[in-house]
Amino acid sequence: MLFDAMLFRETFMSHCRNRATSARGHDLGSAVGRRTVLAGFAAALLPESGQSAPARPIQIGSKSDTEGALLGNLISAVLEALGLPVERRLGLGPTLIVRSALLAGEIDLYPEYTGNVAFFSGTETDPVWKTAESAYDRARRLDAARGLVWLGRAPANNTWLIAVRGDLARERGLATMVDFAGAVRDDRIRLAASTEFVESPAALPSFEAAYGFTLPLSRIISLPGGDTAVTARAAAEGISGVNAGMVYGTDGALATLDLAVMSDPKAAQIVYEPAPVIRAETLERHPQIRAALDRVFARLDADTLRRLNAAITVEGRTAAAVANEWLAAQASRP
C-alpha cells in the first residue's frame, strides 16, 4: 500500500492547496474589556478566597497539539482571572515530555487524558479504562501516589473513532460500529488511517475483535503520520476513493465536514476524557483552583470542544483568542 499512500498524499495536497484560511488575528476588543469579563466570570465561579498572590508564578504546561493549546489557554485564563500569577509554558512537547515536567516539578499543572494513565501504569489491557467513570477513578488513585491530583474532567471522549462519508452513512443507515462492520463485510469501506491506528492492538484491531469484522489491507490507505485533519477530509471528500477515516472524538473537522462518526457501543476503545492534573502541593497553596476549573471543564462536552478546535484549525484563530472568547460567553451563564 506504499504506492497508494504516496498517491493519496499527492492527490490530497493537490486537492487542498490554497484552501487554508487567512482568517487570523481575531480578538475580543480591548485588553481592559477582556480582563473585566474574565474577572467577572472567575468571581461567579467561587466565593472570595482571601488568598494572596504567590511569589512564584504557577507554571502551566500543555502538549504541542491544538486541543492541548486550547485547554492550556483556558486553564491559564481562569487562574489569571482569579488573580493568580501564571507563566504559560504551552506546547512543551508530546505526552511523556509534559508528564515528566509535571512529575519533576518543572510545571504545576497541565491538561491530560484519563486513558493515558493506562499506558503510564502499564495497565492498558484492563477493561476499567473503557468506561468514563472507572477510568477517571483509576487515574485519580494511581496518580495520587505520585503527588498529583486530577481535577474535574470534561464530558468529552477524545478517543480513536471512525467517521464515514455523510452520503454513504445516510444511504446505509450507518451510525454505530455494528453498522460499520456490516458495510465492511459488504466491501463498501475504504479507510484512510495512520499506520499506528492500523497496527496498534488498541486501535483498529480492537474494533475488529469487538465487532467481528476484518478490514483487508487492500481497503486501507495507511499513512505514517497521525494527522486526523487529513484522514477526515479525505473521507468527507472521497479523495482516492476513501469514504471512511480515522478521527479523534473531539476533532475540529467533525464540526465542519459532512461526516458521520460511528459510535462504539461495545466500548472497544479506552476512554480519553481531558482534565487538569495538578501537583498536590500547588493545590494545597491555592485550593480555589479546584472549584474554578471544575466549573469550566464540566461545560466542555464533545460538541463544544469540536467547535472550539474548529475555530483554531479551520478558521485559523489563535488558541488564546478562542479560549478567551468562550470564557467570556460563559460569564453570562448561571
Topology of 31-155+274-330 in CATH?
A: D-Maltodextrin-Binding Protein; domain 2 (3.40.190)
CA pair distance 232, 225, nearest whole angstrom: 13
What's the pLDDT at 45?
53
**DSSP three-state, residue 31:** helix
The residue-averaged pLDDT of 300-323 equals 96
Q: Are 229 and 19 in contact, with CB atoms under 8 Å apart?
A: no
Neighbours of 276 (CB within 10 A): 28
Per-residue pLDDT at 229: 87
Burial of 235 (0-12, 13-18, 19+ CB in 10 A): buried
| Range(s) within the chain of domains with CATH label 3.40.190.10 | 31-155+274-330
The string of pLDDT tens digits covering residues 31-46 is 334 444 454 555 455 4
Q: Are 92 and 101 in contact (CB under 8 A)?
A: yes
- pLDDT band for 30, please (50, 70, 90 cuts): very low
Q: CB of 115 within 8 A of CB of 129?
A: yes
pLDDT tens for 81-126 read 999 999 999 999 999 999 999 999 999 999 999 999 999 999 999 9
In whole angstroms, give the CA distance from residue 12 to residue 149.
43
Nearest to residue 218, comparing CAs of 195, 191, 238? 191
C-beta neighbour count of 57 within 10 angstroms:
15
pLDDT tier at 7, thresholds 50, 70, 90: very low
Whether domain 160-261 has CATH 3.90.420.10: no
- pLDDT tens digit sequence for 284-295: 999 999 999 999
**How many residues are listed for the chain in this entry?**
334
Parts of the chain belonging to CATH 3.40.190.120: 160-261
- Tell if the pTM clears 0.75, that is, is over it: yes
The answer to whether residues 262 and 159 touch, using CB atoms and an 8 Å cutoff, is no
Question: What is the C-alpha separation between 93 and 278, in angstroms, rounded?
Answer: 18
Burial pattern 137-163, b for ≥16 Cβ within 10 A else e, equals ebbbebbeeeebbbbbbbebbbbbbbb
pLDDT in the model for residue 56: 87
SS3 content of the chain, % helix, strand, coil (to 5): 50, 15, 35
